[in-house]
Amino acid sequence: MEKPLLFEVENGTAVITLNRPEKRNCFNRELLAMLYDAIDEVARNDAITVAIITGNGKSFCTGIDLSVLGKEDLFDPRGDGKEYPDIIGACQKPVIGAINGHAITGGFEIALNCDFLIASENAVFGDTHAKVGIHPGWGMTQLLQQAVGRRMAKQMSLTCQYINAEQALSFGLVNEVVPAERLMPRAMEIAGQICAVNRDMMMTVKSLIEYRDRATLENSYAHERAEFGKWVGKMSEMVKPK
For residue range 79-97, list pLDDT tens digits in order: 999 999 999 999 999 999 9
Nearest to 3 by CA among 14, 18, 22: 18
> What is the reported pTM?
0.95
Task: Give pLDDT tens digits for 165-183.
Answer: 999 999 999 999 999 999 9
Mean pLDDT of all residues in 181-189: 98
Q: Is pLDDT of 238 > 80?
A: no
Q: How many CB atoms lie within 10 A of CB 122?
A: 18
Residue 116 half-sphere exposure, CB side, CA atoms within 13 Å?
16
C-beta neighbour count of 80 within 10 angstroms? 11
- What CA–CA distance (Å, rounded) separates 80 from 187? 32
Comparing CA positions, the residue from 103, 95, 114, 117 lying closest to residue 172 is 117
Residue from 13, 89, 83, 80 nearest 45 by CA: 13
pLDDT at residue 150 tops 70: yes
In whole angstroms, what is the distance from residue 134 CA to residue 143 CA? 17
The pLDDT value recorded for residue 168 is 98
Angle 169-62-190 from CA coordinates, rounded to 5°: 45
